[in-house]
Amino acid sequence: MRLTPLHEEHLALGATMVPFAGWDMPIQYPSGIVSEHRATRAAAGLFDLSHMGELWVRGDGAPAALDRLVSSDIQGLAVGHARYGLLTNQSGGIVDDVIVYRTAPGELLVVVNAANVEKDLAHLTERLTGAAITDASAETALVAIQGPRALAISGRVADAPLDDLASFGVRRTAVAGVECLAARTGYTGEDGLELFTPWGGAPTVWHALLDAGAGEGLVPVGLGARDTLRLEARLPLYGNEIDEATSPIEAGLGWACALDKPFLGRDEIARVKAEGPDRRLVGLIVDGGVARHAFPVLSDGVEIGRVTSGTYGPSVQKNIALAYVPSDRAKPGTVLAVRIRGRDVPATVARTPFRRKGEAA
Amino acid sequence: MSDIPEGLKYSREHEWVRVEGDAAILGITDYAQSHLGDVVYVELPEVGVKLKQNGALGVVESVKAASDVYAPVSGEVLERNAKVIESPELVNRAPYGEGWLLRVKLADPAELPSLLDAAGYRDHTADG
């Protein structure tokens, strides 16, 4: 099992550690998932995401080369900005979902899911022409600070204020003396920063932020609350909502596909969009138990789909889930059911995200 | 260190029993709730259902997972804790108090000696 550079910090904080994608990661600290979730919505949460993968793509032709393999517009991405996109395959499925950061004219950072680093590296290495790819995952740590107080707290320990950084902006700065790449991105549905630091610098950044935010409600947050936060915000999790057999259109990620440019799988995605997908990812409010991954979704007693992710949403204070259902059953207000331990529990299709930024916590 | 009050009986599956005449109150222990994490849903049998010792009693779900709860004694359900169904977090806040789950009519008081006392349960949780 691989350890992040903050492993000792997690143990000292009393975290419950679990295996995740080959890493020993904190799922929660003693205050618990609900409390960590609420603290992130109300103030700020600190996350160790050092398991994530960081791939650098460099060369004069790097933006054009990556543009052909990522669903969103990478050529048009200005230096100092980032964009969400999908690595797609020939059949229009999703190899991974990524954020691409343009840090210099001929330099892009592709941040990928921990479980997909080797797969993505092979996928890109095989197909990239006119650019060099480097896997920096083993020497790059990632500390995220998320929530309404995140910018103010980090501004006090950074070399320069960061609140002028645009949403999805990225710049180099130093935090507590550690050189890092600061990006206004995240996976919680809150404002905040992701700080890419050298492996050995992560503890300094972690402690500086925890100290700076202690009086403002900043708490360390584990993967458990990361999941409830992203689910309320309807952010997909690779392996649950999306995979190589999933079309971005049925996953509701058409917005991340620039169909006016060529990229791998583009034609198939355009076809699904034009014809309309057979199934769609919908939000469900479940009334009577927590719907978990792979639980059947039923309409009039007949199975019509499966839950991809489900949890109790601490901010919406309801049991929520995402599920694929036939497109004609996807309208908000449609009453379906989820089979939970043999019982068919009412589940109503809901508008997503379940919670928008700034709504009461 | 988890809270293990004297005067209760405990199962090895981390349920507690408070005997009151020919009836008993059942719940899950402080040790169990702290390992489950935030309880967000409680599923309990209807009044009148007859439980068998060590059979399924219901389910307590945390954010992380669903956990079966087993009947520490046999008996017929007399009352479900309506408050805990409405506010499942009571299981975390007061596992031996407001977070109780069921009141049952004891079917076989001879089962009670098979349960642990507080000292026995303390040893049991220390092993685990």
User: Edge-to-edge strand order for the sheet containing B39-43?
Assistant: B39-43, B56-62, B66-70
B63 contacts on A by Cβ (under 8 Å): 33-34, 224, 228, 290, 311-312, 314
Contact (CB<8Å) A312/B41: yes
pLDDT at A360: 61
Whether residues A177 and A283 fall in one domain: no
Whether residues A47 and A145 fall in one domain: yes
pLDDT at B115: 97
Is A96 part of a structural domain of the chain? no
Judge whether residue B1 has pLDDT over 80: no
Domain that holds residue A226: 7-51+138-232
B66 contacts on A by Cβ (under 8 Å): 289-290, 292, 341
Contact (CB<8Å) A32/B38: yes
Is A194 part of a structural domain of the chain? yes
Whether residues A30 and A150 fall in one domain: yes
Half-sphere exposure of A146 (CA within 13 A, CB side): 27
DSSP string, B12-67: TTSEEEEEETTEEEEEE-HHHHHHH-SEEEEE-PPTTPEE-TTSEEEEEEESS-EE
Whether residues A160 and A221 fall in one domain: yes
Which residues lie closer than 8 Å to A15 by C-beta, 6 or more apart?
A: A26, A27, A28, A29, A220, A222
Q: Which of A216, A232, A248 is the last residue of a domain?
A: A232
- What is the least distance, in Å, from the CA of A289 to any CA of chain B? 6
Nearest chain A residue to B87, by CA:
A317
Interface membership of B109 toward A (CB under 8 Å) = no
How far, in Å, CA of A361 to CA of A358, rounded?
8
- Model-level ipTM above the cut of 0.95: no
Residue B61 is nearest to which of A34, A35, A290, comparing CB atoms?
A290
Q: Which one of B2, B35, B38, B44 makes the best mutation probe of the A interface by having the most chain A beta carbons within 10 Å?
A: B38
CB A156 within 8 A of CB A138: no
Whether residues A142 and A44 fall in one domain: yes
Chains A and B: how many Cβ contacts under 8 Å?
A: 44
Which of B36, B42, B56 has the alpha carbon at shortest distance from B100? B42
Whether residues A157 and A29 fall in one domain: yes
Neighbours of B46 (CB within 10 A): 7
Is A102 part of a structural domain of the chain? no
pTM of the predicted model, to two decimals? 0.94
Is A245 part of a structural domain of the chain? no
Give the CATH number, domain containing residue A315: 2.40.30.110
Residue A33 is nearest to which of B37, B41, B61, comparing CB atoms?
B37
Whether residues A228 and A298 fall in one domain: no
Contact (CB<8Å) A341/B43: yes
Is A289 part of a structural domain of the chain? yes
pLDDT at A160: 85
CB B8 within 8 A of CB B73: no
Whether residues A334 and A206 fall in one domain: no
Q: Which one of A33, A38, A290 makes the best mutation probe of the B interface by having the most chain B beta carbons within 10 Å?
A: A290
Integer angstrom CA distances of residue A218 from A150, A203, B95: 8, 16, 29
Q: Give the pLDDT confidence of B39-92 residue by residue, as tens digits.
A: 999 999 999 999 999 999 999 999 988 999 999 999 999 999 999 999 999 999
Contact (CB<8Å) B63/A228: yes
Contact (CB<8Å) A32/B43: no
pLDDT bin (cut points 50, 70, 90) of residue B23 is: very high
Ordered by where they begin, the domains of chain B are: 9-107 (2.40.50.100)
Residues of chain A scoring pLDDT < 70: 360-361
Q: Which tokens sit at A347?
A: 């589940």
Whether residues A200 and A286 fall in one domain: no
Whether residues A26 and A153 fall in one domain: yes
Is A113 part of a structural domain of the chain? no
Q: Which of A232, A262, A287 is the last residue of a domain?
A: A232
Interface membership of B68 toward A (CB under 8 Å) = no
Helices and strands (H and E) in chain B: how many: 4, 9
Give the CATH number, domain containing residue A143: 3.30.1360.120
Which residues lie closer than 8 Å to B111 by C-beta, 6 or more apart?
A: B53, B73, B74
Q: Which of A217, A232, A247 is the last residue of a domain?
A: A232
Is A100 part of a structural domain of the chain? no
How far, in Å, CA of A124 to CA of A114, rounded?
16
pLDDT at B21: 94
Whether residues A184 and A323 fall in one domain: no
Whether residues A283 and A220 fall in one domain: no
Is A99 part of a structural domain of the chain? no
Which of A316, A137, A147 has the alpha carbon at shortest distance from A220? A147
Q: Give the mean pLDDT of B20-27.
A: 97
Q: Give the pLDDT confidence of B80-125 residue by residue, as tens digits.
A: 999 999 999 999 999 999 999 999 999 999 999 999 999 999 999 9
pLDDT at A159: 93
- Total tally of structural domains belonging to chain A: 2
Residue A34 is nearest to which of B38, B61, B66, comparing CB atoms?
B38
- What is the least distance, in Å, from the CA of B38 to any CA of chain A? 7
Interface membership of B66 toward A (CB under 8 Å) = yes
